[in-house]
């Protein structure tokens, strides 16, 4: 089988509900100019077997620019050789410095084709552990304590048994109070997590960690920016609560090895969009397992659902909870429905995106096509 081309469409997308993160971070609409809508890219990889992979991603203009300039290198390659394709895109990253969210796109497209060709779901091809994955309610940042109580109890009532806070990130004592209230609201048996969204320095991160570790939290996530590993090493040494980190660090498994060697975390992060697609995520998951560590899957979506079902050292699928309408509609999301606190990952082959390509041709803002390898490999001519 060979890759014969790529087609990309630039489309206007629904902006989704408005919400905010911690103090100092732009909210969900922070990257959308006023009066406009976000631009996504839909990318299709075609093959000579009639199979294609397709994905929808944000940062549409940048994604299509990457496909236009770089993806001609993969025309003629075999999409079933996912390890080879991952290595080739890793080489291009050396000179391109591909955005983390785009590094794994080719890999995901190839696994989509590979799964359809094998007539097996992706999670089984990646190894396969359990298609029924418990989910945790991951909050946005609400303005008041009363709103936290209302929406967390609502999430509990629809079946969630695990909860993660994205809190204010301002004065430490206010977030400590919220954590204590969370334990009261959901009872002694629920798993609790806290995500600092990299808002504190070492002093605040240490103060907060000491205050919540006796509340029985499963993990304490990314309290500081992920640059100085020494600060994270000190934090791990001082606290009993497990530190979850390296979510946004570049370098996939190579960088994660450095974090583990530095003893700068207790749990690792994997995701399709920050860790190089399926192949990169599995490298991190297996590296973590070999060091006796859990590799917690970060983020929602069809891709991350497959990773959750594929590996045994992940605890939960992450599900954002935003407002009443959204929380009460989580059981109506098709293959990503949360029912009684669980996600049941699809057993269908392929990734699961379904697009009307004819309609895209009519409605897209822009379109690109890549059909020819611009710089074919040189032919070795023997000496005579």
What pLDDT does 372 receive?
Answer: 86
CA distance 269 to 353: 25
Query: Which parts of 67-214 are beta strand (E)?
Result: 132-139, 162-166, 191-195
Tokens 């919400």 belong to 19
What pLDDT does 36 receive?
Answer: 87
CA 241 to chain centre: 23
CA distance 176 to 172: 6
Helix or strand or coil: residue 4? strand
- 219 pairs with which residues across the strands? 193
Q: Say if CB 215 and CB 183 are below 8 A apart.
A: yes
Alpha helices in 170-227 (DSSP H): 172-186, 202-212
Q: Is the dihedral of CA 354, 359, 364, 370 positive or negative?
A: positive
281: tokens are 């995520």
What pLDDT does 340 receive?
Answer: 97
Domains and their CATH numbers in the chain: 3-119+354-370 (3.30.390.10), 124-344 (3.20.20.120)
Q: Say if CB 277 and CB 106 are below 8 A apart.
A: yes
DSSP secondary-structure letter at 93? Answer: H
∠ at Cα 257 (272, 268), nearest 5°?
A: 50
| Helical packing angle, 252-261 and 277-290, nearest 10° | 20
Helix or strand or coil: residue 189? coil
CA-based radius of gyration for the chain: 22
What pLDDT does 379 receive?
Answer: 39
∠ at Cα 129 (257, 135), nearest 5°?
A: 85
CA distance 297 to 311: 10
Tokens 């895209």 belong to 360
What pLDDT does 203 receive?
Answer: 97
- 223-261 in b/e form (b: 16+ CB < 10 A) is bbebeebebbbebbeebebbbbbbbebbbbbebbeebbe
CA dist list (Å): 193 to 136, 137, 220, 265: 9, 10, 6, 15
CA distance 41 to 61: 7
338: tokens are 């949360």
> What pLDDT digit, counting tens, does each position of 126-142 carry?
999 999 999 999 999 99
What pLDDT does 378 receive?
Answer: 41
262: tokens are 């530095």
Collect the ranges in the chain with pLDDT lower than 50. Answer: 377-384
């Amino acid at each position: 089988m060979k890759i014969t081309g790529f087609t990309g469409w630039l489309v206007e997308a629904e902006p989704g509900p408005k919400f905010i993160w911690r103090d100092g971070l732009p909210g969900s609409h922070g990257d959308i100019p006023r009066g406009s809508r976000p631009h996504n890219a839909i990318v299709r990889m075609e093959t000579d077997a009639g199979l294609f992979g397709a994905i929808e991603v944000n940062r549409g203009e940048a994604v299509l620019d990457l496909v236009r300039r770089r993806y001609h290198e993969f025309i003629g390659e075999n999409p079933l050789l996912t390890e080879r394709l991952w290595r080739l895109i890793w080489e291009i990253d050396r000179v391109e410095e591909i955005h983390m969210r785009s590094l794994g796109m080719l890999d995901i497209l190839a696994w989509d084709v590979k799964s359809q060709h094998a007539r097996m779901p992706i999670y089984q091809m990646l190894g396969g552990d359990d298609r029924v994955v418990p989910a945790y309610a991951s909050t946005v940042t609400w303005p008041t304590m009363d709103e936290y109580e209302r929406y967390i109890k609502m999430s509990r009532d629809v079946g969630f048994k695990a909860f993660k806070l994205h809190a204010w990130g301002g004065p430490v004592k206010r977030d400590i109070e919220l954590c204590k209230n969370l334990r009261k609201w959901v009872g002694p048996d629920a798993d609790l997590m806290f995500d600092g969204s990299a808002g504190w320095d070492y002093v605040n991160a240490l103060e907060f960690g000491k205050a919540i570790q006796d509340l029985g939290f499963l993990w304490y996530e990314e309290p500081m920016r992920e640059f100085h590993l020494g600060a994270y090493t000190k934090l791990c040494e001082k606290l009993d609560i497990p530190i979850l980190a390296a979510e946004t660090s570049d370098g996939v498994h190579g960088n994660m090895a450095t974090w583990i060697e530095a003893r700068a975390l207790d749990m690792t992060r994997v995701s399709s969009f920050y860790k190089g697609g399926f192949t990169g995520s599995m490298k991190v998951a297996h590296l973590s397992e070999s060091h006796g560590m859990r590799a917690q899957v970060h983020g929602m979506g069809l891709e991350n659902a497959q990773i959750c079902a594929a590996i045994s050292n992940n605890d939960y699928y992450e599900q954002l909870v935003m407002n009443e309408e959204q929380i009460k509609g989580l059981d109506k999301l098709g293959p990503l429905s949360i029912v009684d606190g669980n996600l049941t990952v699809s057993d269908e082959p392929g990734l699961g995106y379904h697009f009307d390509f004819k309609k895209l041709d009519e409605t897209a803002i822009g379109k690109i096509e890549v059909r020819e390898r611009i710089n074919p490999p040189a032919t070795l001519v023997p000496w005579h």
